[in-house]
A and B are shown apart, each in its own frame.
Chain A
Amino acid sequence: MLILLVKGAMATLVLGVAGIAGGTALGVVLAALSFTRPWPLRSAYRLYVFLARGTPVLVLALLVFYGLAAMSIAVGPYVAGSIVLVIYASAFFAEVFRGGVLAIPAAQVESARSLGLPPLAFFRKIIAPIAFRYALPPYVNVCVMIIKASSVLSIISVWELTLAAREIIERTLDVFTVLGTAAALYFLMCFAVDRLGRRTERDLMRRGFMPERA
């Protein structure tokens, strides 16, 4: 039984990593979109974030699964589940990155502009490092949120830790042990991600500028 749960935890981890990676990539693109000048692009950003954050994960997942079927696109459950998590995560990551950029004190941006760097170098050397440091704590929070959101995919029969636990319970009725172990596995994964984030914050604090946690 334990082995089955651990396998489920691995599936959860795969889904989580896929969601986080894809969500980060898409989130960077979306955050960039939110800083463009033409207003249709910025409105599109606001609309996307509103839709992706305002619908429950379960409804989003049902929409994606049934929508893909209706469009006759046949992908496996894990791919479809990853798509759901990527869409959900990208909206939250985009807001986190946006917040990170907006948190940079205006005085620093102005004095950096006086350096006369070309736009790409300006972004790479000034904006990105500072925004990254401001965005790190909420970024880690969203990562933990995505790992927990993967459990919702169990309702649509994507096999991962929660579904594994439910299957075992339906066969053995050993509710407390099974769900307790599953909870411990989730706790392990999320706690590890949180600790990793804290260690990165600590290292950044030692190496140079890193705003302290409130």
Chain B
Amino acid sequence: MTFGRWIAIYGPSYLSGLAWTALVALGAGVAAVVWGTVLLLVRVAWGRAGARAVDGYVQLFRNTPVLLWIYLIYFAFPLIGLTWSAVICGGLALVLQNGAYISEIFRGSFRAIDPVQFDAARSLGLSRWGTFRKVVLPQVLVYSIPALGNQLILLLKDTSLLSAISVAELTMNAKLLTEQTGAAYEAFIVVAILYLAMVVLLEATARWARHTVRWRPTRHAL
């Protein structure tokens, strides 16, 4: 069967997988940013112990493959009584892994904040939590936008690993189609094109965000 005909017949069946992939990527992305913020808070608020703890956490997830964590959460949670769905288990693994990388991104952005701002915040009477909420967090988030865009693309590619625990996303879709129709490479070429299209979309969005959001620190006269 020619490639064109194959797309015409089986094209629409990719839509549900595509939707699931996008949904998981966005959900895990938002959750990972939240988790990265929590890790930043631990690093900032709990001095050397906090910094060491977060560093240990980051090292753990930098030196182990994410697939291992997907399996661990998926197989182990039922054993301790949590019967969550495969999507949640896999999504949790993705959040834990990418949260580690995002906390490193936030750490770099945190160092970019001029220390004089912390003195200014204290002289204004802001509490430590207030400083974090009103001074640190907005700037860290804005400075991190380029790196976060990159990380989101990596997260999108990692969602394909959820097919290992039978989540009905795009790669799983392709595997099922291959078994049903016996076509070898057509299914996967379409899937590759779809992933590349999503990556292009994300890169364009990241470029737009870099131009629109004024993320360079504006120089105020002191």
Binding site for B on A (CB under 8 A): 50-51, 54-60, 62-63, 66-67, 69-70, 144, 148-152, 154-155, 162, 165-166, 169, 173, 175-176, 179, 182-183, 186-187, 190-191, 194
Task: Check: B95 CB closer than 8 A to any chain A CB.
Answer: no
Q: How far is the CA of A175 from the CA of B174 in the complex (A)?
A: 29
Q: Is the Cβ of A151 less than 8 Å from the Cβ of B67?
A: yes
Give the chain A neighbours of B66 by CB distance below 8 A.
148
User: Roughly how many angstroms separate A169 CA and B165 CA in the complex, as a whole number?
Assistant: 14
Given known contacts A66-B185, A144-B62, A175-B75, is B161 in contact with A55 (CB within 8 Å)? no
Contact for B68 among A50, A63, A162, CB less than 8 A: A162
How many pairs, one residue from A and one from B, have CB atoms within 8 Å of each other in the complex? 108
Q: Would B192 and A59 count as touching, CB distance under 8 A?
A: yes
Distance in angstroms between the alpha carbons of A144 and B66 in the assembled complex: 13
Q: Are A162 and B64 closer than 8 Å at their CB atoms? A: no
Number of residues on chain B facing chain A (CB within 8 A): 35
The CA of A62 and the CA of B171, in the complex, are separated in Å by 9
| 17 sample A-B contacts, Cβ–Cβ < 8 Å, listed by A number | A56-B157, A56-B171, A58-B171, A62-B175, A63-B185, A66-B185, A66-B188, A67-B185, A148-B63, A148-B66, A149-B65, A155-B163, A162-B71, A166-B71, A176-B72, A179-B71, A179-B75
**Nearest chain B CB to A136 CB, angstrom units:** 17
From known contacts A62-B175, A187-B60, infer whether A165 and B71 are also in contact, taking CB-CB under 8 Å. Answer: yes
Q: How far is the CA of A187 from the CA of B60 in the complex (A)?
A: 7
Q: Are A55 and B71 in contact (CB under 8 A)?
A: no
Q: Does B191 contact A (CB under 8 A)?
A: yes
A69, B160: Cβ atoms closer than 8 Å = no
Q: Which residues of A contact B59 (CB under 8 A)?
A: 191
Residue of B nearest to A153 (CB): B67
Known contacts A54-B195, A62-B174, A66-B178; is-contact A187 B188 (Cβ 8 Å): no
Which residues of chain B from 7 to 49 have any CB-CB distance to chain A below 8 Å in the complex? none
Q: A155-B164, A169-B75 are in contact. List 17 more A-B contacts (CB 8 A).
A: A51-B196, A54-B196, A55-B195, A56-B160, A59-B195, A62-B171, A63-B192, A67-B184, A148-B64, A148-B66, A151-B67, A154-B67, A155-B161, A162-B65, A162-B67, A175-B72, A175-B79
Least CB separation from A186: chain B residue = B64
Contact with A along B164-196 (1 / 0, CB 8 A): 100000010011001000001100110110011
Q: Is residue B55 contacting chain A, with contact meaning CB distance below 8 A?
A: no
Q: Which of A51, A58, A162, A190 contacts B160 (CB 8 A)?
A: A58
For residue B67, which residue of chain A has the nearest CB? A151
Which 3 A/B pairs are nearest by Cβ-Cβ distance? A190-B63, A151-B65, A56-B160
CA distance A58 to B156 in the complex (A): 12
- B184 & A194 in contact (Cβ 8 Å cutoff): no
How far is the CB of B188 from the nearest CB of chain A, in Å? 5
Shortest Cβ distance from residue B90 to the other chain A in the assembled complex, whole angstroms: 13
Tell me which residues across on chain B come within 8 A of A194, comparing CB atoms.
63
Q: How far is the CA of A150 from the CA of B79 in the complex (A)?
A: 28
Across-interface contacts of A144 in B (CB, < 8 A): 62-63
Given contacts A54-B195, A70-B184, A179-B68, contact A186 B164 (CB under 8 A): no
Cα of A123 to Cα of B59 in the assembled complex, Å: 37
Contacts of A55 in B (CB 8 A): 157, 192, 195-196
